[in-house]
Amino acid sequence: MSCLLLGVIRRRGGVRASVGVRSLASIPSLPPAVADFVKGAVEECKPAGVHVVTGTPEETANILAGLEKEGMVKKLPKYENCWLARTDPKDVARVESKTVIVTKNQRDTIPIPSGGVKSTLGSWMSEADWQKARMERFPGCMAGRTMYVIPFSMGPVGSTLSKYGVQVTDSPYVVASMGIMTRMGTPVLQKLAEGVDFVRCQHSLGRPLPLKAPLVNSWPCNPDKVLISHLPDTRQILSFGSGYGGNSLLGKKCFALRIASRIAKDEGWLAEHMLILGITNPQGVKRYVAAAFPSACGKTNLAMMKPALPGWKVECVGDDIAWMKFDSQGKLRAINPENGFFGVAPGTSDKTNPYAMSTISKNTVFTNVGETSDGGVWWEGLDPPASGITLTDWHGKTWKQGSSTPCAHPNSRFCTPASQCPIIDPQWESEEGVPIDAIIFGGRRPEGVPLVYETFNWRHGVFVGAAMRSESTAAAEHKGKVIMHDPFAMRPFFGYNFGDYLTHWLSMETRKAPTQLPKIFHVNWFRKDPSTGAFLWPGFGENARVLEWIFKRCGREREDEAARKSIIGWLPENGAIDTKGLGSKVDMGALFDLPKPFWQKETQELRAYFTQQVGADLPPQVEAELKVLEDRVRG
């Protein structure tokens, strides 16, 4: 299985190896730059041994067997090669309050907010404070544990759009999950041996052995000391204290968004919190679309949609992250840098997302979902289990329908290989990426925002992305349902100053090279009837009706084709959205109503937000777009 280093002593039956760390003179199997990074991490963290991950199936099986032995995962006999992990209840989501960007100057990371308000566009930490925080956490943090060295690729190995990373971690759960979420192991080491740049990722659970206090749920973590830190200038990520999801799978939000957005700014491309889908009409014409929604707004459901319109086909390239770069012809090309789906389980069902359900039926790691007595999984949104089958909740306690607490944690997850998705796009691993015709922004807006509209032009589209707001979600530690600003669905993920990010997006219009800019749209599946509180639009597969209009608008010959101008953008003209066969009566008038008081309040809210949060860093073009919107709303 292994490439255990530094004087190997194998111990049967598990993955932990007892390895002398004294003989650090050479790590011959690693390229020099990687060896230097690993050597520095070993000297700081003092692991009992080092294991270089090869990514073979035998190695993965060994990792999982070791996790099972330690009580960190449980095999689910109902499915093929599926596993259940239950975390410490204090380690269940991204921790935005403990996630920082470290740069010399604060303004490189965040706009300086006005009037003493706290920035919501990222957390900056000074280099001196960070050094101190590092010294309080990392020295000796891996004592008694194995350090795994994970060489990984974000994007297909060898693609000009891909980037590489090396993560050191003391969590075998992270190794198992990174094996699903990234291309990992020997093929990447071969690429690194050619001398390509890589992002240095250092992760520790922060629970050296012997333990000073017992673990909860056999899940090592150190919630009081959690710190997820990013050093964009040196392309480094150091994460401490959390074993969960985006805090520990450093290829995901940390690298693919925070660090990659900064690399993209430096290199002239875009790293975005977007799904990518291909949609084919009944005549066989195909277009690709990228869409940015905040967490829990249905990104995965849209990316794997089963269209309700006959003859239309949707195929999935990715459900969460898009890296996009203009090619020599000026076409924006996108890749999904990930290799798996890390989806929110509750609400996923055969009704809402049948393709996700079939994707997760094998080779999947589930975390914090409920468990059935016949060795399966369960969560809110699934049909109740068959009679005689009992449920255990995410705490490991017996659970009954009607209980006051949920069976699955609201942010419980499945981690599953993308290649298993029955509608994975044939081009999903294309090295040059897929050509993007449309970019869609969206959020969860119960009132005032129409089902769909198209922006007037690229600059207006950038403004609409900057103005995005949505009800908050369970993917982070926010409480309750408040409407939060979430520009570009990137608010928790900007790797640099949001004002500079907007300038970067605007600059795409003035590139020297040929440029075919995608059209930009905004959608809202979540508008409610104010009198009943019921959703006005059925959503899910019926969203294909909205995609059909977007598809047609991408190929339009005149500006007002199937559209009418409104104060906020181009709305579909009456009858332009196909409603044939919609099960229930849908009030299209209510879905496209633009109440003046709502939009007056919205523009006031946006002006206050831009003034307080972005201030002097707001590009004049965005300020000008707000001004003309205010004028249109007043007029």
Enumerate the active-site residues.
94, 244, 253, 273, 295, 297, 320, 413
Q: Going by C-beta distance under 8 Å and a sequence separation of 6 or more, which residues neighbour residue 197?
A: 163, 164, 235
Measure the CA dihedral 251/465/425/269, to 10°. -60
Rounded to whole angstroms, how far apart are CA atoms 540 and 562? 23
The pairs formed by 396-399 with CB atoms below 8 angstroms and a separation of 24 or more are: 396/86, 396/217, 399/370
Task: For residues 133 and 138, give the distance between their C-alpha atoms in angstroms, rounded to a whole number.
Answer: 9
Q: What gap in Å lies between CA 14 and CA 532, rounded to an integer?
A: 57
CB atoms near residue 258 (< 10 Å): 25
Strand intervals (E) in 345-423: 365-367, 370-372, 377-378, 391-392, 398-399, 413-417
| Strand partners of residue 199 | 165
Identity of the residue numbered 492? P
The span from the CA of 87 to the CA of 380, in Å, is: 18
Q: What φ, ψ does residue 302 adopt, rounded to 5°?
A: -70, -40
Pairing verdict, β 270-272 and 227-231: unpaired
Helices 498-507 and 260-267: angle between axes, nearest 10 degrees? 40
| CA triple 499-503-505, angle to 5 deg | 115
Strand pairing report for 519-523 and 434-442: parallel
The angle, 0 to 180 degrees and rounded to 10, between the axes of the packed helices 458-466 and 498-507 is 160
Half-sphere exposure of 306 (CA within 13 A, CB side): 12
Tokens matching residue 149: 């060295």
41 and 160 in contact (C-beta within 8 Å)?
no
φ/ψ of 513, rounded to 5, equals -75, 165
What is the C-alpha separation between 442 and 523, in angstroms, rounded?
5
Taking the C-alpha atoms of residue 322 and residue 290, their distance in angstroms, rounded to an integer, is 7
| DSSP-based three-state secondary structure for 108 | helix
CA–CA separation, 238 vs 250, rounded Å? 9
Q: How many CB atoms lie within 10 A of CB 561?
A: 13
User: Where does 94-203 have alpha helices with state H?
Assistant: 106-109, 127-137, 172-181, 186-193
Distance of CA 75 to the CA centre of its chain: 26
Please enumerate in sequence order all residues whose Cβ is within 8 A of that of 531, keeping only pairs 6 or more positions apart, or say none.
none
**Tokens describing residue 172:** 């075998």
- Say if CB 453 and CB 571 are below 8 A apart: yes
**Beta-bridge partners for 484:** 470
What angle is formed at CA 527 by the lines to CA 601 and CA 118, rounded to 5 degrees? 45
Nearest to 124 by CA among 498, 629, 517: 498
